[in-house]
Amino acid sequence: MSCDDELTVKVDNLSFSYGAKRNLCARTLKGITIDAKKGQLIGIMGPNGCGKTTFMRCINKVLKPQEGAIYIDGKDLDRLKMMEVAKICANIPADVPDDFHLSVEEFVALGRYPFVTGIWWEGAKDEELVRDAMKAYHVTHLKDRKLGELSSGEKARVLLAKGAVQQPKILLADEPSAHLDLKFKLQVMQALKDLSRQGVTVITASHDINLIAKYADLVIIISEGGIVSYGPPAEVINEDIIRAVYGVEVSIIRDNGELYVIPLRPADPEKGDDEDTRPCEKGIVAD
Amino acid sequence: MEGTKASQAKIKIALIMGLGSLSIILLFILSLTTGVMDISFTEAMSGVWNLIQNGGAHQNNQELVLWYIRIPRALGVIGVGVGLSVAGAVMQALIRNPLVDPYITGVSSGAALGVTTAVLAGVTIAGLGIFVTPIMAFVGAVLAFMFTMLLAEAAGGRSISYVLGGVIVGIALQSGTTILMYFNADRLHSVLYWLFGSFSTLNWQSTTIIVLCVSVLSAIMLLYAKEFNVILLGDEQAQQLGMNVKRFKTGMFVMVSALTAVCVAFTGIIGFVGLIVPHLVRMLIGGDHRLLLPASMVVGANILLIADIVCKTAVAPSELPVGAIISIIGAPFFGYLMIRMGKEYVM
């Protein structure tokens, strides 16, 4: 299948800095270069404040990098309008707006926004896609429920349905399973995996090394704004790199090509002193 | 085939608008019957009919009262009800906080200070004539909105920041109004009466301005109902769905300030309408702005018409200030929302 080799995301020597005004946040990206192919699930790892979120924000044009170029679906991101980006690239937000009485169906339909041509209403095709997506993520029975009444697991499925209904070529998911219990974490990751098998390039950031190791085709490890390592999980994830990046001693069990990371203790405190580089992110409500 | 979601929604809108308009017409006629001069329901109806046929030429005293006092007032009440309700719904979407309205964010107080300045300090701008009042109200409203936003964003931009920021800005601006009044005690009466929030000063001139501005601005906002749904997701998410968030929000903030200003300019501060109406409508038909905005319009007009009728009849032949009456209902409602929502996420 030749189309498997199609590059959907190409990032070339990307550098980004928030500028002098916000240097307290100390979040910059330096010389990032990656190629992501159609249908790959790419996991981004790295400690808090390393630039994972910044990187994903560059890919969907929320932030404009100072240097380097990004190509999505073969097009120069710099030359695309936001509406054109929205037709290629979808994003799974961290949460739903739950105090405005929007129903699940209305919320999922918002994913069709870039494609709606009328002034007010979605077309019949849009509505069909919304119905299909709700069915695929098992939320059809919730369609008239208000977002505020959903459980965390239901919200996660609704968010996935909204992402899928956008029919993206690239799907970005920043910490999609952060607040979920084990079962839903696995369900969400499996859903992302299924989407990637349908040809969507999925880029997801997570702190759960085991989830990334289990599901990702490729892992990018970012530390202090630069790529430390890039490749298949089995090649990239090892004790040394985890110690260097996270400052944690781990034991890794390898079994049948799968690997399991067991955290042991913080590494030698002198080396990885806990300088707080956590981002002072704007607009993100405390969890 | 149960029909598409869109066609079901269209039927809903038609029903709401139809029933709402019918009740507006009934309340409109009822409102024409209240006042010092006795005019019965049928007399009011035939009077309106005659006036329409004769193009406003009145043939008796009843028609004179209807034409110069009661009809412009009732039309103005409808305009202000529509305007404040839409302004509230739009503000809640833009700030992504269901606890705000033009009054709570201090925008009404800003408009009020603008008008007080115009009236007391005698601001006259050559060639503007009667438009001085709404223009000064607009300037005050925009400035107040800017202050509130700067404060709230500096405090982290959370839901409650806008409520607190608005309260602070509101108090400051109201003090400004008080000081202006203190130094102009001789000309106080006209301003004071207006500040209470009252429809009694509405005439054809002010009503025409209100109805025109409210119609145009609400129509523009209705066109963007779909975008208000998207903006609920937050700036970044809306941007990622292809919206030009910055341009949209700036434009809407200016328009919502203008909408508030034109309502406040002639009838004074009527608080809480913009809070209560969208909330009631959301509870009844949900949060989709394509339903919420038109439904808020008709519900807002109905509620203010009822409030005005109560004000005119409760202590007849005297009259109660409508702003105070609405606030008596609005303050406990606001408290109720605060408790309910505070439990969910504010604390």
Query: What pLDDT does residue B341 have?
Result: 67
Q: Which residue of B has its CA nearest to A83?
A: B242
Mutate to test the interface with B, among A57, A83, A100, A285 (most CBs of B within 10 A): A100
Give the distance from residue B242's alpha carbon to the nearest chain A alpha carbon, in angstroms.
4
Closest by Cα among A66, A39, A37 to A54? A66
Asked, for residue B5, whether it belongs to a domain, the answer is: no
If one counts every other C-beta atom within 10 angstroms of the C-beta of residue B227, the result is 19
Confidence at B123, pLDDT banded by 50, 70, 90: low
Give the distance from residue A209's alpha carbon to the nearest chain B alpha carbon, in angstroms.
26
* Rounded CA separation B214/B143 (Å): 20
Cβ atoms of B261 and B138 within 8 Å: the answer is: yes
Nearest to A114 among B233, B241, B345 (CB): B241
For residue B190, is pLDDT > 80? no
DSSP class per residue in B72-100: HHHHHHHHHHHHHHHHHHHHHHHHT-TT-
Nearest to B230 among A87, A113, A120 (CB): A113
Find residues 145-164 of chain B whose CB sits inside 8 Å of chain A.
157-158
> How far is Cα of residue A257 from the mean position of the Cα atoms in its chain?
24
Asked, for residue B129, whether it belongs to a domain, the answer is: yes
* Residue B73 structural domain: 20-346
Mutate to test the interface with B, among A53, A121, A172, A281 (most CBs of B within 10 A): A121
Asked, for residue B278, whether it belongs to a domain, the answer is: yes
In this predicted complex, what is the ipTM? Answer: 0.82
A62 with B345: Cβ contact below 8 A: no
**In this predicted model, what pLDDT tens digit does every residue of A237-248 receive, in sequence order?**
888 888 888 888
Query: What pLDDT does residue B332 have?
Result: 86
- How far is CA B272 from each of CA A80, B24, B103, B168, B325, rounded to the nearest angstrom? 43, 20, 6, 17, 11
Q: Which residues of B touch A114 (CB under 8 A)?
A: 241-242
Say if A125 is an interface residue toward chain B (CB within 8 Å).
no
**In this predicted model, what pLDDT tens digit does every residue of B296-337 receive, in sequence order?**
999 999 999 999 999 988 887 788 888 888 888 888 887 887
For residue B103, is pLDDT > 90? no
**In this predicted model, what pLDDT tens digit does every residue of B239-249 receive, in sequence order?**
999 999 989 99
Q: Could you tell me the two tokens for B164?
A: 């607190």
Write the CATH number of the domain with boundaries A2-266.
Answer: 3.40.50.300
DSSP class per residue in A184-233: HHHHHHHHHHHHHHTT-EEEEE-S-HHHHHHH-SEEEEEETTEEEEEE-H
Mutate to test the interface with A, among B90, B95, B230, B241 (most CBs of A within 10 A): B241
Per-residue pLDDT of chain A (287 residues; tens, 9 = 90+): 334 457 788 888 888 887 655 544 555 888 888 888 888 999 999 888 788 888 888 988 888 888 888 989 888 888 989 899 999 999 988 777 777 788 999 999 999 999 988 888 888 889 999 999 999 888 999 988 888 888 888 888 899 999 999 999 999 998 888 778 888 889 889 999 999 999 999 999 988 889 999 999 999 998 888 888 889 988 888 888 888 888 888 888 888 878 888 888 887 765 544 444 444 444 333 33
What is the count of structural domains for chain B?
1
Q: Which residues of B touch A119 (CB under 8 A)?
A: 223, 226
Q: Which residues of B touch A128 (CB under 8 A)?
A: none
Query: What pLDDT does residue A177 have?
Result: 80
Asked, for residue B10, whether it belongs to a domain, the answer is: no
* Rounded CA separation B54/B62 (Å): 15
Say if A120 is an interface residue toward chain B (CB within 8 Å).
yes
Find residues 24-83 of chain B whose CB sits inside 8 Å of chain A.
none
Q: Residue B327 is part of a domain; what is its CATH number? A: 1.10.3470.10
Say if A30 is an interface residue toward chain B (CB within 8 Å).
no
Give the distance from residue B223's alpha carbon to the nearest chain A alpha carbon, in angstroms.
7
* Rounded CA separation A50/A220 (Å): 12
Q: Could you tell me the two tokens for B57?
A: 């030429």
Q: Does the reported pTM lie above 0.90?
A: no
For residue B191, is pLDDT > 70? yes
Buried b (16+ CB within 10 A) or exposed e, B252-289: bbebbbbbbbbbbbbbbbbbbbbbbbbbbbbeebbbbb
| The residue to which tokens 């309106």 are assigned | B48
Give the distance from residue B113's alpha carbon to the nearest chain A alpha carbon, in angstroms.
32
* Rounded CA separation B182/B178 (Å): 6
Give the distance from residue B142's alpha carbon to the nearest chain A alpha carbon, in angstroms.
23
Mutate to test the interface with B, among A64, A108, A120 (most CBs of B within 10 A): A120
